[in-house]
Amino acid sequence: MIPIPASTGSGHWSRRVSAAVMLLAVLAVYIALAASASYVLVNGEKVSLSQVRTAADCAEVVGISMAPGNLLDVRGAVIKSGGGEAGTVIRDGVSVSPDTVLAPGDVVTVLPGSDLTEPVQEKVELLPCQPVGPDLRPTVWAEGIEAFRGLRRVQRGAISGRVGTIEIAQIRPVVISRQRPTSIKAIALTFDDGPHPTHTPQLLDILAKNNARATFFVLGIYVKRHPDLVRRMLQEGHEVGIHSWAHANYTQLSSAAVAEDIARCQKLIHSVAGDSVLLRWIRPPYGARNATVEQLIEAAGCHVAMWSVDPRDWRRPGSEVIYQRVVGRAHSGAVVLFHDGPANRAGTVNAVRRLVPALQKKGYRLVTMSELFGLVPVFTGEVYLDLGADHIHLMPAAQEMRVIVDGEPIEPAHPLLIGDGQLLLPLEPIVERLGASYEWDQERRVVTISGLRGTLTLYLDSQRAEKDGEQVLLRIPPVLFKDAPRIPLWAVANITGAQVRYNSAEAVLEMSSRLTGTGIEHTIRQGSRDRPSVVGAPLAVPSVE
Ligand code: ZN
């Protein structure tokens, strides 16, 4: 403040001066007041109200764009330019419209326009079971084995429909099983008094070759001598039942002795084959039973196993008689009684060798006791191969299928498989008979076949293969089934140049190594963008010449 002189000697002049001073003083006050009131704070900066009148002006002054950002999809791509959020002006903590007139002293924050991501829709689904090997590649599974089930969480853009994120979690092992068909023509073959070191392996071989299952009622004394045979029975899908420790007649023993005999057998079988083996059936020696024996068997957690067809093979009438007796009396639901020990059972083995395919040809499925009585789903021998989106159904080919190479019937070392209508062949001895050679690298799971038409490298369970170093894609991959690789028919024919004729009605596969024809026909179609060309046999193998 400027001090005003109290008086001067100059009278009039002195009044004029003092008025001017007054004016200056008022002006100074006014300017001082105005200086504090004509500014606003924009994003922390003091801006004169002469520069900004409205909220929108503030953005311009601080160089921030109020234009809306873009609408983005879940992966960050622009769906709509300018479809995002517009800029915002906030005055004293409240957002205001851009044309709001500002007042001195306002505190203004300008936020720029921003991108907006579309809303996300989430879907969680339970994945089908994925049987995976230790190397995490899909593998073949059989019914009744464990596989991991997964959980997939997929986030998708609600507007674009594009997939944003996918999370996959394995949740727990589950047991795959398929319900048994209600009307099934089935027969249970049963073998008592073994295991026997000669006959039992022969029977197991016959059953394995024909994809048939049976039930072995074993004696404790022989289980002790041949525990490996009991393990093999179980590994190959057969059932083991108890036939007492040493063939005592249970009706002539005390209750305590019967209970002890059963418990001793159970304990032994569990010790050689594992505690998880379910022993559901006891066949009392001689079939001798009474109410007490039946109660004791049930008390042991088992069922009494009798039979309905008895060819009296223990009397050794010869294989032809045994064969005729069983074929003559076979019916669905039959339980056939045979003996695989302890005497010479060559007649039984020879009869079974013919009986198994003969009964199967009549449409009977050869099952275990528990399968026949519906205690467990029937093991059909079918396997499923999961390859991501593809699901291939494999099953053993007709049991009676004949394989003929150059006019000569051959016995493949393992059964043929059918995968979605295509045949898969075991290597042995077909490939060599067609003049080619193969290498099977079990560790790497690679099969290499070298023939007249080049070299084919096949990877188990993989649709990718290489022919002379060039990548091809198989529709049905080679698979490992019961420890032996099975190779798609087209691959064998393609690389050997063999002529192939398959008559499905008669179940005859004829192959000729003579290069008179063009080899098996196969479809070749252009692959999609990311796939190499696809080579595969037509859907149905039948009659390719
Ligand atoms: Zn017996």
- pTM for the full model? 0.46
The CATH 3.30.457.10 domain(s) of the chain lie at 391-512
Distance 286 CA to ligand 1 centre (A): 6
Catalytic residue among 57, 73, 192, 340: 192
CA of 282 to the centre of ligand 1 (A): 11
pLDDT of residue 173: 42
CA distances, 46 to each of 15, 42, 60, 67 (Å): 41, 6, 14, 24
pLDDT at 197: 97
Which pLDDT score, from 0 to 100, does residue 514 have? 58
Q: Tell me the CA–centroid distance for residue 112 and ligand 1, in Å.
A: 92
CA of 341 to the centre of ligand 1 (A): 9
Q: Give 219 Cα–ligand 1 centroid separation in angstroms.
A: 8
Q: pLDDT value at position 25?
A: 65
Distance 235 CA to ligand 1 centre (A): 23
Question: What does the pLDDT read at residue 5?
Answer: 41
Can you list the pairs that 499-503 forms with residues at least 24 positions away whose Cβ atoms lie under 8 Å?
A: 499/545, 500/544, 500/545, 501/543, 501/544, 501/545, 502/423, 502/541, 502/542, 502/543, 502/544, 503/542, 503/543
Q: CATH 3.10.20.30 in the chain: give the residue spans.
A: 39-117
Residues ≥6 apart with Cβ < 8 Å to 62: 42, 43, 45, 47, 110
- C-alpha distances (whole Å) from 535 to each of 282, 494, 525, 526 are 53, 10, 7, 9
> What's the CATH number for 39-117?
3.10.20.30
Residue 407 Cα to ligand 1 midpoint, Å, equals 46
338 CA → ligand 1 middle, Å: 9
Distance 251 CA to ligand 1 centre (A): 14
Q: What is the pLDDT of residue 28?
A: 64
Q: Please tell me the predicted confidence (pLDDT) of residue 344.
A: 94
Rounded to the nearest angstrom, the distance between the alpha carbon of 191 and the centre of ligand 1 is 9
Residue with tokens 């525990």: 227
Token readout for 221 is 């004394």
Q: What is the distance between the alpha carbons of residues 188 and 361, in angstroms, rounded to a whole number?
A: 15
Q: How far is the CA of 239 from the centre of ligand 1 (A)?
A: 16
The confidence score (pLDDT) of residue 183 equals 53
Q: Indicate the DSSP class of residue 317.
A: -
pLDDT at 146: 45
Tell me if residue 505 falls in helix, strand or coil: coil
Q: Is-catalytic flag, 339? A: yes
Q: Which of 339, 340, 461, 522 is catalytic?
A: 339
CA of 283 to the centre of ligand 1 (A): 8
Q: Write the CATH number of the domain with boundaries 391-512.
A: 3.30.457.10
Residues lower than pLDDT 70 in the chain = 1-23, 25-37, 124-153, 165-184, 377-394, 398-400, 420-421, 482, 504-505, 514-545
* pLDDT at residue 338, rounded to an integer: 98
The CATH number that domain 186-372 falls under is: 3.20.20.370
How high is the pLDDT of residue 201? Answer: 96
414 catalytic? Reply is no
